[in-house]
Chains A and B, each alone.
Chain A
């Protein structure tokens, strides 16, 4: 089946620190990969995505590269801000017989950035 494993939190960083949240996956087909973010009191929002190997998704200073050889999609940001404090979810979707809408999520990683 399909599954996503992401690093356990919580992660606590100081402002301007470098962030990495690891994500690896297993998939029965060729997946598209996503990072979603959930800010306090808000719904899940798509942060970035990549649909094929070696693609790099980027948004708001965050980046993640689709690595097929290591089945990974690690999230990085060079300098975090207090406003980046949120829960981050790695997810995948596999195009299988037309059912490419199902998102399979990891457990989420809570990030807290202190001033």
Chain B
């Protein structure tokens, strides 16, 4: 079956611009996660959705970052006034439920470059 998909696969933008990154989770998965992977680092947690609500947004670095999941399926990560330091690979993952027994399935990521 289809896995987690993310679009675009690559995004180049200029400093100060607004970007949206999209994640399509596996059908039926209620939990959705965003992570950010900077060059040479492992992924870092950003935000977790259970259904439509953001259950934990403690990993968002500042208020320029925002994410939504209005219908409990597709999620969009929004970054305002982008900065060069936002350049990274943004990973989305989904799981059937929430908990240690639930495997998180990752998408291929969106590589964001802020010039």
B21 contacts the other chain (CB 8 A)? no
Determine chain B's interface SS by DSSP, over half rule: loop
B45 neighbours in A (Cβ, 8 Å): 102-104
User: Is there an interface contact between B43 and A32, defined as CB atoms closer than 8 Å?
Assistant: no
Q: Is A64 an interface residue (CB 8 A)?
A: no
In the complex the two chains form, is A101's CB within 8 Å of B106's CB? no
Assess whether A105 is in contact with B33, with CB atoms less than 8 Å apart.
Answer: no
Q: How far, in whole Å, are A41 and B33 apart by their CA atoms in the complex? A: 20
Partner of B43, one of A41, A44, A45, A99: A44
Which residues on A are within 8 Å of B, measured CB to CB?
Answer: 4, 32, 36, 41-46, 51, 89, 91, 93, 95, 99-108
Q: Which 5 A-B pairs have the closest CB atoms?
A: A105-B42, A44-B106, A43-B106, A43-B108, A102-B45
Would you list 23 pairs from A and B whose C-beta atoms are within 8 A, ordered by A residue? A36-B106, A43-B3, A43-B4, A43-B107, A44-B43, A44-B93, A46-B105, A89-B43, A91-B42, A99-B56, A101-B31, A101-B48, A101-B56, A101-B95, A101-B102, A102-B45, A103-B35, A103-B45, A104-B45, A105-B43, A107-B40, A108-B41, A108-B42
